[in-house]
Amino acid sequence: MSFLSICTTETIKSAALALKNRHLVAFPTETVYGLGADAEDAHAVARIYEVKGRPADHPLIVHIASLDAMGQWAQDISEYAITLARDFWPGPMTLVLKRSDLAKDFITGGQETVGLRVPAHPIALALIKEFSAVGGKGVAAPSANRFGAVSPTTAKAVEEELAPYLLESDLILNGGPSLIGLESTIIDCTGPAPMILRLGAITPLMIEESTGLVALESNPNATRVSGSLDSHYSPKAKVLLDVIAESGDGLIAPDQIPTPNGVIRLSAPSSIEQYARELYLALRKADQLGLGVVVVVQPGGEGLAAAIRDRLGRSAFVE
């Protein structure tokens, strides 16, 4: 495996060729790091599932270079979906659309829909555009971690988690820490109004202001998407929400909340944006320190705060 710390033009070209030659490339996005493969190549995509330990019926998001590529992967695209794409791409938003013939079952998890996103990270966009230049149509890329575990927001986190599973021919591109730190908002655009399948930085209010339509909440019959299981985003440590931390526990809480004696402070964010950006790093730090319990004081409010609570609820879920 090659760990590439400097993403030069030549590095990006090499990574695009690696994708074309059926290898995997982990790359940064503004949300979290993704593990990419040629979205048209069943063999390459199968390696994503193998490396992640991901169930085969879990669909993947296809990363494309621009709105213009939507028509290759999707059909019967609603007007409000185009509006959302114009307003928020490149950005932390995935649109679920009726799939075209290009989107095969190994991408969609056997569903009749496909998830598409244009990431807002210069390295990710450069990689996808260079891949297009060598004949690629899209990069399938879930988060670059083992299935159900905490998503990586740095190249180092990718290396630490996936190095045992990657081949020498696979690549990791280092683009620094992810700016947002939470996965993209996923919106089902196949019905008469947008339906939010996963919360993220693109909020219900932003969707309504863009389209003039009130975003629906997900329901049990909704399309399967990444990160929708009850238990997900979980560290090895046990996550407890909104309780009093005891000596030896880790603590993630807003900066105005003091650290009790004997408690290990993992993060003290002063804003919702910082909370999101540092959350996964803090959960990973808990495991690095060998902590058994992490206490998290959740943020109040809507928007990004609601997305944070969604991830924390899944990380703390016990069957």
pLDDT tens, per residue, the chain with 319 residues: 555 556 788 999 999 999 999 999 999 999 999 999 999 999 999 999 999 998 888 999 999 999 999 999 999 999 999 999 999 999 999 999 999 999 999 999 999 999 999 999 999 999 999 999 999 999 999 999 998 889 999 999 999 999 999 999 999 999 999 999 999 999 999 999 999 999 999 999 999 999 999 999 887 677 777 655 556 678 999 999 999 999 999 999 999 999 999 999 999 999 999 999 999 999 999 999 999 999 999 999 999 999 999 999 999 986 5
Would you say the C-alpha torsion 288, 291, 292, 295 has a positive or negative sign? negative
Q: Residue 285 and residue 298: Cα distance in Å, rounded?
A: 18
- The per-residue pLDDT for 232 is 65
- The per-residue pLDDT for 159 is 95
- The per-residue pLDDT for 2 is 53
- The per-residue pLDDT for 102 is 98
Q: Do 93 and 200 contact (CB within 8 A), yes or no?
A: yes
Q: For the chain, what are the domain ranges? A: 2-217, 238-315
Same fold, 2-217 and 238-315: no
C-alpha angle with apex 22: 21 to 27, nearest 5 degrees? 100
Q: Identify the CATH class of 238-315.
A: alpha beta
Residue listed under structure tokens 């979980």? 234
What CA–CA distances, in Å, run from 163 to 32, 33, 52, 138, 266?
17, 14, 11, 24, 25
Domain 2-217 belongs in CATH node 3.90.220.20 = no
* pTM of the shown model: 0.94
Distance between terminal CA atoms of the chain? 36
Q: Do 201 and 180 contact (CB within 8 A), yes or no?
A: yes
- The per-residue pLDDT for 234 is 85
What CA–CA distances, in Å, run from 62 to 36, 74, 182?
9, 11, 18
Instruction: Name 212's Cβ contacts closer than 8 Å, sequence gap at least 6.
Output: none
Helix axes 155-162, 272-288, angle to 10 degrees: 30
208: phi > 0 → left, psi -120 to 50 → alpha, else beta; which?
A: alpha
Residue listed under structure tokens 């399948």? 197
- The per-residue pLDDT for 175 is 94
Q: Looking at residue 145, what DSSP letter applies?
A: S
Q: E strands, 189-313, where?
A: 195-198, 216-217, 238-241, 250-252, 264-267, 293-296
- The per-residue pLDDT for 172 is 95
